[in-house]
Amino acid sequence: MSQRLIIFTRYPHAGSTKTRLIPALGATGAADLQRQMTEHTLAQARALRQHQGVDLEVRYTGADGETLARWLGSDVDYQPQGDGDLGDRMAAGFAAAFAAGYQAVVTIGIDCPDLDTPILTQAFAALSAQDLVLGPAIDGGYYLIGLRQAIPALFQNMAWGTDQVLADTLGRASQAQMSVTQLPLLHDIDRPEDLVIWDRFPRMQIPTLSVIIPTLNEAPHLERTLEPLHQAGVEILVVDGGSRDGTPDLARRLGAKVLETTPGRAQQMNLGASHAQGSLLLFLHGDTRLPSDFVQQVQVTLAQPKVVAGAFRLHIAGAGWCLRWVEWGTQVRSHYCQLPYGDQGLFLWRSTFEAVGQFADLPIMEDFELVQRLQSQGRIALAPAVVQTSDRRWRTLGVLRTTVINQAMILGYGLGIDPHRLARFYRGRSAS
């Protein structure tokens, strides 16, 4: 019997996914939970395919099919959910599958972590003899529905999201004289009180994003830098290296967690990473502003095959064709040489950061050195969005002089010149 399993999910945008869980997890945490549950559900489905030969389809919303394939893999079919309420979209999924020749079709969501491969196997086995199979949920709905033919009446004018969905569905099935099998009663995760269910899944930790900002006298820029971070609900760690302009107090007033240490960007960022709670780390300069959708950009970029780290495209605040040439050169270097610099917002998984040994204890070139080590682990990808950084260096020294100094640092480091000597040269040139 030709069989298809349809998985309904939403792309995990922070702020628009699992909104009822945002009070407990924050916008990013709720989106990360959506991502984890989708990946867990698809893992169960792939195991079913391996043993039973069931075809898999993901019906999605919140992104395009290419994005979904980069996230979840290209070995399943992707179809948009379409318009209408949940019933309209499920009915459309069943109709398309039966029109394609499938004889047994099961549709599930991703909210039920106890829905495993054996239960899915049981659902398809039941359809060999029954017209309808339902997986009842504790909240009065259902986590699974399976059919042998399209029955639009099961989905029309249903009070979705209420505790009457299962009962109403069974009533309609009875009126249509359909034979029914019910699967084990399981919990969905929809509300904060449901999160205790995750205690049974210790391997599935909810990853969050921590943004680590090393600062030294960044008060004029910090509020603008922190604004999109607050809107995204991520963890913010400002690691100050001895500012005299009130940067630590300003960061605290703006809601960031502040750590204070001696100056040195490498040790500041390593200290921030050691205190971060997130499974994803993003290192950001104090004068650089991220795009509003940076969480999505990080997730999509790191979901690409063989990617171990990423950074953003660079936009330098200020007018003039010289700055545009610098931006173009940065993009070429980052894309073709996979050598983004720290002012582009470097991001990676915490596990990767720890595996490569964190930032080396260098007075300069710490970002360049880390990226070189990361290249041996995989690909460094460039996100399509841009970060906007201050033009103060180029404005103070001039574009040509700043570019020459930067290239001299790279050349000197490549030739093996002592980084402490390079740092003295750089700071002396930058101050003169």
Cα within 13 Å of Cα(160), Cβ side: 12
In terms of C-beta density within 10 A (0-12 exposed, 13-18 middle, 19 or more buried), how is residue 231 classed? middle
pLDDT of residue 325: 83
pTM, 2 dp: 0.55
pLDDT at 411 over 70: yes
Range 12-38 average pLDDT = 81
Closest to 106 measured CA to CA, from 56, 69, 153 = 56
One domain for residues 195 and 213: no
Task: Express each pLDDT in 41-71 by its tens digit.
Answer: 998 999 999 888 999 999 999 998 888 888 8
pLDDT of residue 431: 46
Q: Average model confidence (pLDDT) for the chain? A: 88
- Domains of the chain: total: 2
pLDDT at 427 over 70: no
Task: Express each pLDDT in 316-326 by its tens digit.
Answer: 887 778 888 87
pLDDT at 156 over 70: yes
One domain for residues 229 and 194: no
C-alpha span between 193 and 72 (Å, rounded): 28
C-alpha span between 413 and 290 (Å, rounded): 29
One domain for residues 192 and 86: yes
Task: Express each pLDDT in 228-275 by its tens digit.
Answer: 898 887 899 999 999 999 999 999 998 899 999 999 999 999 999 999
pLDDT of residue 120: 96
C-alpha span between 130 and 76 (Å, rounded): 27
Quote the percentage of the chain above a pLDDT of 70: 95
pLDDT band at 215 (very low <50, low <70, confident <90, very high): very high
pLDDT of residue 432: 45
**pLDDT: which is higher, 282 or 18:** 282
**pLDDT: which is higher, 431 or 174:** 174
Q: What residues make up the domain containing 75?
A: 3-200
pLDDT at 150 over 90: yes
User: Does 85 reside within a domain?
Assistant: yes
User: Does 412 reside within a domain?
Assistant: no
For residue 35, give Cα distances in angstroms to 120, 142, 279, 346: 20, 21, 13, 22
One domain for residues 188 and 298: no
Instruction: Tell me the two tokens of residue 432.
Output: 């003169």
| Distant-in-sequence, close-in-space partners of 230: CB < 8 Å, separation ≥ 6 | 236, 254, 255
Task: Express each pLDDT in 364-375 by its tens digit.
Answer: 888 888 999 999
Task: Express each pLDDT in 285-311 by its tens digit.
Answer: 999 999 988 887 887 788 777 888 999
One domain for residues 12 and 77: yes
One domain for residues 279 and 336: yes
pLDDT of residue 103: 96
One domain for residues 147 and 267: no
Quote the percentage of the chain above a pLDDT of 90: 52
CATH number of the domain where residue 145 is located: 3.90.550.10
pLDDT band at 283 (very low <50, low <70, confident <90, very high): very high
Closest to 357 measured CA to CA, from 348, 288, 130 = 348
Task: Express each pLDDT in 175-184 by its tens digit.
Answer: 999 999 999 9
Asked which of 200, 224, 251 is the last residue of a domain, the reply is 200
Q: Which residues pair with 346 in a beta bridge?
A: 283
pLDDT at 203 over 50: no
One domain for residues 124 and 46: yes
pLDDT of residue 405: 72
C-beta pairs of 62-71 under 8 Å, 24+ apart in sequence: 62/10, 62/11, 62/12, 62/13, 62/16, 62/17, 63/11, 63/13, 67/11, 67/300, 68/11, 70/300, 70/303, 70/304, 71/11, 71/35, 71/299, 71/300, 71/303
C-alpha span between 123 and 135 (Å, rounded): 8
pLDDT at 205 over 60: no
pLDDT of residue 79: 97
Range 347-373 average pLDDT = 87
One domain for residues 132 and 219: no
pLDDT of residue 199: 64
